[in-house]
A and B are shown apart, each in its own frame.
Chain A
Amino acid sequence: MVRFFTRPFAKRSRSAYRWFDERTGSTELVHKGLYEAVPEKGGWAYTLGSATLVLILLQLFTGIFLLLVYTPSFTEGWGTLNFLQTNDRFGAWVRGMHLWGAYVLILVIGLHMLRTFFSAAYKRPRELNWVTGALLFFLVIGLAITGAMLPMDQAAYWTLVVVTNIPHYVPGIGDGLRQLWRGSDFVGQQSLTRTFAIHIWVLPFLLFTLIGVHLYLLRRHGEFGSWVNYTPATADPEKELAERLRRAEPPYPTRRSERRWAVPRRTVEFFPTQLFKDTAVSLLFVTVIFVFGYIVGAPLSAQGNPATLTYVPTPEWFFLPLDQVLLLAPGTDLIFAGIALIGVASVLMIVLPFLDRSRERQPLRRPEVLLPGFFLIALLILLTVIGANRLWNL
């Protein structure tokens, strides 16, 4: 019955599609995207990468809407957002989704890094994937903290003051660095203008460039999946490897030198299995953001007042470990040491693939990498929880 009505259109739409396809090559593109070979095992674990991308796009999307209403003005900025919170329920919802999107994004990008770290997905030939990913992590943190400075309420103003003061502790050039960011010695209108520009253009530009590189590299070498894909399943690894090579579609490299670790045991097509898993996980996260964005929303404290005597500046939750480091000791030298320590740890994280060059992928056989990694992660989590009561200032 349905066919009776759609058949005349079906014929015409088929030819219309053919016209389009001849000119754009869209079918080939879609096929290349959808029917890529991905490893069978580890599917759920590596949905986190696509979830991160979805969340970043969500931030871009909600951010554009906020751009339509917000003015980066020291005096008027708060008013625009306050109007949103009090008069526009949907606007407040969008703002809430932007905030919770940021929080969930930081969580998910952390989980994504944890997964790739654990399954050794940064080993040859995917080192640059990790490097771009680590840089993306820092860009996301940068975006989160510059975003926190924009609403110009008490929380935002004092975050601006305290965070732009951190470069002050770098010996020698510290004051200069601080001035470069703030635009002057003290925080004023210029600081907000610069931070706004950084948040909506400079960092997103770098972010999307690196995402492009990251995705390109991913497609080039194929998804890694889980480390179990690369352990021999039969008693004759060489034969198994030859069989795997025969079955594997590109992009998994089949050059002789990389055979040993590049080809997963079994592959399936990206569409529909993996795409379904990716969508399910993204759905979960977006639902959380959707719900929390409305129920909890984004708080907006009183207008930023530099002359306050009662407001207690509070770090964002993802800056709590840094806050704990700053708490450690008085004295300029040790504070710089704390910041330098964080800098060193960050650099080590970025160059991890060049530190861990062994071919071993099984986690239990890489304790010299996993144990320090887990130690660091445990410290981060524990310091966040220890400092958490600061968030409520009770």
Chain B
Amino acid sequence: MSTPMSRRRFLVRLTNAGAAVITLMLSIPAIGFLVSPLFQKRTVSWVRVGDIDNVPIGLPTPFVVAMPIGQGPPGPPVNRIVYVVKTADSRLFAFSNTCTHMQCNVHWDPGLSQFLCPCHGGLYDLTGNNTGGPPPSPLPQWIHRTLVDPGTGHTILEVQNTFDESI
């Protein structure tokens, strides 16, 4: 600047700077707080589902499991469904009944021999592949493992409170 700054212009600039600093000091914590869920680590834990020895082959059996949310302030666990499927070729699946279209609750319909979502008619087969209707991808699966109960010798299924992203 070639001309010297007038007092007036200096005062205006100082005021602007002060207001900007106030705004910054207000917005940094606020915005940081708002987007914090994106960066929080999820606490993943194993949850016991139950004894799956009596689950028949080819018939998905629902188990109600109390899943901790694992993120954010401590809160009550949420009851979720784990659909245990044993196929004829000895594969084991632990499906979530969350439809991949709009996340409505999916249930096994024996008449159709498929998983049916009542919201918009989405269909999934026994192995979770989306076979009809709007769902764009197969039924999500919980990460799972099986243990043998030392006392009874039965197979116990445990799932993590997170979907298996690799499928």
A329 touches B75 (CB 8 A): no
B69 touches A313 (CB 8 A): no
- Inter-chain CA distance A185–B103, complex, in Å, is 12
- Main SS class of interface, B: loop
Q: How many A-B residue contacts, CB cutoff 8 Å? A: 105
A305 touches B79 (CB 8 A): yes
Q: B107: nearest residue on chain A (CB-CB)?
A: A309
A326 touches B69 (CB 8 A): no
A313 touches B78 (CB 8 A): no
- Total interface residues on B, using CB and 8 Å? 38
- Inter-chain CA distance A183–B69, complex, in Å, is 10
A137, chain B: closest CB distance, angstroms:
24
- Main SS class of interface, A: loop
A327 touches B37 (CB 8 A): no
| Contact status of A74 and B75, CB under 8 A, knowing A185-B42, A310-B107 | yes
A326 touches B75 (CB 8 A): no
Q: Mark B114-144, 1 if CB is under 8 A from A, else 0.
A: 0000111000000000100111110000000
| Contact status of A307 and B79, CB under 8 A, knowing A162-B119, A184-B71, A335-B134 | yes
List B contacts of A187 (CB < 8 A). 78
- Inter-chain CA distance A335–B118, complex, in Å, is 18
Chain A interface size band reads 35 or more
List A contacts of B38 (CB < 8 A). 176, 179-180
Q: B104: nearest residue on chain A (CB-CB)?
A: A313
B37 touches A180 (CB 8 A): yes
B120 touches A326 (CB 8 A): yes
A156, chain B: closest CB distance, angstroms:
14
The one of A166, A188, A312, A329 in contact with B78, judged by C-beta atoms closer than 8 angstroms, is A188
List B contacts of A180 (CB < 8 A). 34-35, 37-38
B104 touches A162 (CB 8 A): yes
A75 touches B73 (CB 8 A): no
Q: B69: nearest residue on chain A (CB-CB)?
A: A188
| Contact status of A312 and B37, CB under 8 A, knowing A190-B75, A326-B102 | no
Q: Mark B61-79, 1 if CB is under 8 A from A, else 0.
A: 0101101011111011011
**Known contacts A186-B67, A332-B137; 5 further A-B pairs (Cβ under 8 A):** A186-B78, A189-B72, A312-B118, A335-B101, A335-B134
- 19 contacts across the A-B interface (CB closer than 8 A): A158-B104, A162-B104, A180-B35, A180-B38, A183-B37, A184-B70, A186-B78, A187-B78, A189-B76, A190-B73, A305-B79, A306-B81, A307-B81, A309-B62, A313-B105, A313-B118, A331-B134, A332-B137, A335-B101
